[in-house]
Structure 1
Amino acid sequence: MDDQNKNLILATALSFLVILVWFLVFPPQVQEGVPTEEGTNTAAVDGTATPPASGSTPQVPGSLPATPAETRAEAVSRTERVALETPALTGSISLRGGRIDDLSLLEYRETIDDDSPIVTYLSPAGAPGAFYAVHGWAGAGGLSGDAVPGATTEWQREGEGALTPENPVRLTWDNGQGQIFTKTIAVDDHYMFTVSQTVQNTAETAVSMFPYGILARQGEPDQLNFFVLHEGLIGAADGELSTSEDYDDLRDFDIDPLERAPAQKTRISETGYIGFTDHYWMATLVAPNNTPATSVAKYTPGNDTYQTELRYNVVEIAPGATAETVSHFFAGAKEFAQLRDYQRDLEIGQFVDAIDWGWFSILTKPIFRALHFLNLTIGNMGLAILALTLLLKLLLFPLAYKSYVSMSKMKMLQPEMEKIKERAGDDRVKLQQEMMALYKKEKVNPASGCLPILVQIPIFFSLYKVIFVTIDLRHAPFFGWLQDLSAPDPSSVLNLFGLLPFTPPEPGSLFAIFSIGVLPILMGVTMWMQQKLNPAPPDKTQAMIIGWMPWVFMFMLGTFASGLVLYWTANNIITFIQQYTIMRSQGAKPDVFGNIIASFRRDKSTD
């Protein structure tokens, strides 16, 4: 076997190895899971006041042992409730514990089908995948557990009607020991609840207690488990963001002797929040600005409960006095504009950073802001991506101009380079020496053509991050068959793009990388044509590997979000036009189709 055939086999093997490794590192995106009645996680979650150990810090509610499995509908119906109706949310609040535990997102559906169910987010204790919030008081200074409201307290409703932005719900509970508790739950037009709690002490002695908020999640939810995206515990304390702990990390926290479970505590002096983040959704307890608190994250192995808490300072309530506390609870979609407004209006530090911008936030944030603005202006996310691509190309044009001028000179030096290759023969050292002498004489830098590519790499990955983690592209349509720019191109070459009665492999399977659609193929072709404008490397093996790259990238990006492939394809087309025009202005006469025919002839001659 001659060296050229060996190089061809090596290049082919390396190309497909890159495809397989890329597929494992960047698996195709799948639709996020949502809790359903058919879920497999059947252990129920509940909370009750846990009496503190002698001499220890007072504790807040923990979790009860598992109860028999229920469907979500059965769990909702077993307690008296107040309906919840807002433009963005629907559900109900349980009068047992005053829990916010039945919540669905009206503006989001599970799939792109018009009749698809809306996304269910919070579910009550006893339901599969229980996930709920409860606010109450914990006793301090010897106050008994049954004297304070907890997760199983039966609250009494004052007033009528559903909880709406115009109609807060007021709940009361008398402990029979001289303290009357009131809880008022309000909600805005989007995803923020405000919980106001008061205690009126009618007894003859002072009492001590502290308010808290709990967010409990039964079992580990369905996740993408993709390193680009953080899923799990999220929080911020006085300007320091924490997005490093996933659910495995919660189970591995050091055992806290007071909690009797893995736990982590962080002191908040001015501003902070803590909760759980998913791909597109988030639920967090928010401490009001300048209200000291302690955030707690813990895991209870006995009933597989992940729990976050905000505990506020202990207050002493004198006879005849009243204590009041106000806190916030966010549950909904991680919409940039809404998180930004909450951060500004409620002074919640780093709330907008609950979106996983990544290490290169210096790029991802402005890229997203530009894409968000263009989408609002144009009204179509696909057209916004095309407009953003054009803006980025204009921004990088000065650098691209220098690069393309250099490549034009390289193109014009091609005949001289061919003569050098003929003179050098198999002497690689002589070939490199004469090539470098020619570059120096003609003042050409062969590496300058790499500059636009090097600049595009961080932009490409930043845009990939934006498309993957932000909710703006979820189910965002373009035109024709591209109805979800956050998902791969649904068409497939394997069934001739729908002409054959054959169902392509599902996303996630190994052979799905070969089920590429129209857009990835267009991306590969445009990348290949752009490549034909550039002079081929003098080394045959290097030229062969570079020649494979458009098709390697075609398969790699075939499983990526179609919005990203759309950007790459548009970038290729604009780059081709720019480079062709500049090369012509410099006297070079690129013959793209001639180069394509010549490459086919070279390939045929090597067979």
Structure 2
Amino acid sequence: MDDQNKNLILATVLSFVVLMGWFFLFPPQETPQTETPVAEQSDGSTAAVPPGVESPVASQRVDAAAEAVADSARIEIDTPSLTGSISLAGGRIDDLSLRNYRETLDPTSPLVNLLSPVGKPQAYYALYGWAPGGELGFDQVPGATTPWTVESGETLAPGSPVTLAWDNGAGMIFRRTFSVDDKFMFTVTQSVENASDSAQRLAPYGLVARHGEPQTKKFFILHEGVVRMSDGALEEIKYAKMPDLETVGREGAPASVIDVTDRGWIGFTDKYWMTTLIPTQGDAFTSVAKYIPSADIYQTEARLPTVTVEPGQTQEVTTQLFAGAKEWETIRDYQRGGVDRFLDSIDWGWFFFLTKPIFWILHHLHAIIGNMGWSIIVLTFILKVLLFPLAYKSYASMAKMKELQPEMEKIKEKAGDDRMKMQQEMMALYKKEKVNPAAGCLPILMQIPIFFSLYKVIFVTLELRHAPWLGWIRDLSAPDPSSILNLFGLMPWGTPDPASFFAILSLGILPILLGISMWLQQKLNPAPADPTQQMIFAWMPWVFMFMLGNFASGLVLYWITNNTLTFIQQYTIMRRHGYKPDIFGNIKAGFKWRKKKKDAE
């Protein structure tokens, strides 16, 4: 086996092994998860109490919270991006849907629901309050079911805040003012007025709680769970890991507690959506992620320092709550507005140094072109231009190796069975002609991290969700919906469920074009003489075709474009260096080899 074919085999097999591992570890289609039963016990609000302060038992507030929320009046939320309501029971934001996002491509499908109240499946909400200190008891501070009244405002909308009030009957008046912008950021101002004759100590907090483990994609490459920034340090905790956190607090809830000096935020992230508590940047707070086993509640908290309110004084604290879609541009604007490293809430992965610039280019191309599919094609052109110097050296080296083939055959004949002598003379020839036999596999190896990074971008970024290209490709983040099994829609029968094993046979148009593009790229070079190598090269395009058939259409589109450009580059560079690829001859030779093999059998 000559060195050139060794390198090609090595690069191809390595790509195959890596992609097969990727395919089996991180399959592109997930099996629908059964709904997790909801533990209708506590809303978890008492878990926000700072360590050392007495806390009621969570299970004692089961029915009270659900009943109070169900019976309470509500304040409507109406913005260009959000619709929902605030419950006056606890003053919680617990009903929120995203106006501009639907569950499926069907324009009549329900809006994406982000937050839902206690008593409904998968309850998910944001709650604020004050933890008592000193002589105050829990009945003297607003809690999970406190009956707030509306002091001002009717509907929460941009430019129209709403203020709630509650008098504890002991000389303290609490107020909570909500305002919201036209995207996904709420501003919550909590205040306490002390009209009593003694100083009072208490600590403000905000929390986000989820009842039961939510339905997640359960992909290794995708993080869903707690995400937080603590003085520049990003941390991600999956739901499955939360019961194993260090145990703290009187309730014995597993928790992770970080004292943040001046910059941070904490919340829950899904694939495309997020709910995040954001204390004022520059202020210290305690960041808490915890799991409450007795109530099956996952909770994040932002505990602010205890304040002392003297008689006749008023203390207030302002925090923010992001609740919405992880739109790159929107989150970037909030980061520019002061939220520290907020763009890192998007799951860029291990190859963040590639995924971030790749998405940045893709985003701006889409802003110019207006179509994400064509933007992916243009992005592929840009990547090929950036890698052209490496590709040029590689293909030039391959062409030079073709020119040296007669001399290499002479060396083999002369050396006979003396492998050591043959290797020494080969190395001398390479050195004399300034040829690097390993250069041929470099472009293929360089494609692996780029492929993975683009896969990550297409899989996790919201901008690719439901993004159409042309014709039948209406969602570049999903597999090609066409199928060879019904002649691409010409036949009246259906196709296998995308989540089933047999879906791998349901090849669409794009995967078939991918296989053809890989097959044609192979025909730039004659098939190797060794039968084993011939078999590997013969099967490789079709194995990849089936393997990538259920990957996102955007990724397959990139791969087809990349193969086409690689074919053109390699053909042109080889011609410039005196080697003319006999494509049609190589195709004919391939069919002759198959006929000979069949006759031999």
What is the TM-score when the length of structure 1 is the normalising length? 0.90
| Separation in structure 2 between the aligned mates of residue 16 and residue 396 of structure 1, nearest angstrom | 21
User: Which residue of the other structure, out of 332, 335, 343, is the alignment partner of 2:327?
Assistant: 335
Q: Offset at 1:275? A: 1.0
Alignment deviations for residues 43-88 of structure 1 (CA, whole Å, 9 cap, x no partner): 35425557989x9246599565544999xxx997532101100010
Cα gap change, 1:21/1:370 in structure 2, threshold over 3 Å: closer, same or farther?
closer
| Separation in structure 2 between the aligned mates of residue 52 and residue 249 of structure 1, nearest angstrom | 22
Matched, 1:101 2:90: no
Cross-structure match for 1:288: 280
| Separation in structure 2 between the aligned mates of residue 51 and residue 332 of structure 1, nearest angstrom | 23
Q: Offset at 1:369? A: 0.4
Cross-structure match for 1:404: 395
Q: Secondary structure at the match of 2:156?
A: coil
Cα gap change, 1:519/1:286 in structure 2, threshold over 3 Å: closer, same or farther?
same
Matched, 1:56 2:47: no
User: Which residue of the other structure, out of 589, 594, 597, is the alignment partner of 1:598?
Assistant: 589
Matched, 1:191 2:187: no
User: Which residue of the other structure, out of 258, 263, 266, is the alignment partner of 2:250?
Assistant: 258
- Quick check: 2:15–2:448 contact (8 Å CA) kept in 1? no
Cross-structure match for 2:29: 29
| Separation in structure 1 between the aligned mates of residue 349 and residue 473 of structure 2, nearest angstrom | 27
Cα gap change, 1:481/1:85 in structure 2, threshold over 3 Å: closer, same or farther?
same
- Quick check: 1:44–1:68 contact (8 Å CA) kept in 2? no
Q: Secondary structure at the match of 2:480?
A: coil
Q: Offset at 1:401? A: 1.1
| Separation in structure 2 between the aligned mates of residue 300 and residue 312 of structure 1, nearest angstrom | 21
Cross-structure match for 1:133: 126
Cα gap change, 1:169/1:61 in structure 2, threshold over 3 Å: closer, same or farther?
farther
Q: Secondary structure at the match of 1:289?
A: coil
The residue type paired with residue 558 of structure 1 is G
Matched, 1:46 2:73: no
The residue type paired with residue 519 of structure 2 is W
Cross-structure match for 1:390: 381
Cross-structure match for 2:234: 241
- Quick check: 1:105–1:121 contact (8 Å CA) kept in 2? yes
Matched, 1:117 2:114: no
Cross-structure match for 2:6: none
The residue type paired with residue 463 of structure 2 is D
Q: Secondary structure at the match of 1:338?
A: helix
Structure 1 window deviating more from structure 2 (528-537 vs 116-125): it is: 528-537
- For structure 2, the 5+ residue unaligned runs are 1-12
Structure 1 window deviating more from structure 2 (375-384 vs 433-442): it is: 433-442
Q: Please list, as runs of the form range in 1=range in 2, the aligned pairs for 1:61-460 lying within 5 A after superposition.
A: 64=60, 66-67=62-63, 78-243=71-236, 245-345=237-337, 347-414=338-405, 439-440=430-431, 442-460=433-451
Alignment deviations for residues 530-570 of structure 1 (CA, whole Å, 9 cap, x no partner): 12213545644234323322222211211111101100100
| Separation in structure 1 between the aligned mates of residue 421 and residue 493 of structure 2, nearest angstrom | 56
C-alpha root-mean-square deviation of aligned residues, in Å? 2.9
Q: Secondary structure at the match of 2:382?
A: helix
Cα gap change, 1:69/1:604 in structure 2, threshold over 3 Å: closer, same or farther?
farther
Structure 1 window deviating more from structure 2 (171-180 vs 22-31): it is: 22-31
| Separation in structure 2 between the aligned mates of residue 182 and residue 596 of structure 1, nearest angstrom | 79
Alignment deviations for residues 417-439 of structure 1 (CA, whole Å, 9 cap, x no partner): 56777888999778767755654
Cross-structure match for 1:6: none
Q: Secondary structure at the match of 1:261?
A: coil
Alignment deviations for residues 126-150 of structure 1 (CA, whole Å, 9 cap, x no partner): 1100000011111101201110001
Alignment deviations for residues 329-359 of structure 1 (CA, whole Å, 9 cap, x no partner): 11111111111111121x2222110101112
State the percentage of identical aligned residues. Answer: 59
- Quick check: 1:424–1:430 contact (8 Å CA) kept in 2? yes
Cα gap change, 1:14/1:361 in structure 2, threshold over 3 Å: closer, same or farther?
closer
The residue type paired with residue 140 of structure 1 is G
The residue type paired with residue 179 of structure 2 is A
Number of aligned residue pairs: give it.
586
The residue type paired with residue 561 of structure 2 is A
The residue type paired with residue 309 of structure 1 is E
The residue type paired with residue 470 of structure 1 is T
What is the TM-score when the length of structure 2 is the normalising length? 0.91
The residue type paired with residue 587 of structure 1 is G
| Separation in structure 2 between the aligned mates of residue 187 and residue 514 of structure 1, nearest angstrom | 49
Alignment deviations for residues 393-438 of structure 1 (CA, whole Å, 9 cap, x no partner): 1111111111111112223344555677788899977876775565
| Separation in structure 2 between the aligned mates of residue 202 and residue 368 of structure 1, nearest angstrom | 55
Cα gap change, 1:493/1:380 in structure 2, threshold over 3 Å: closer, same or farther?
same
Cα gap change, 1:26/1:415 in structure 2, threshold over 3 Å: closer, same or farther?
farther
Cα gap change, 1:264/1:331 in structure 2, threshold over 3 Å: closer, same or farther?
same
Cα gap change, 1:427/1:45 in structure 2, threshold over 3 Å: closer, same or farther?
farther
| Separation in structure 1 between the aligned mates of residue 57 and residue 200 of structure 2, nearest angstrom | 19
Structure 1 window deviating more from structure 2 (403-412 vs 89-98): it is: 403-412
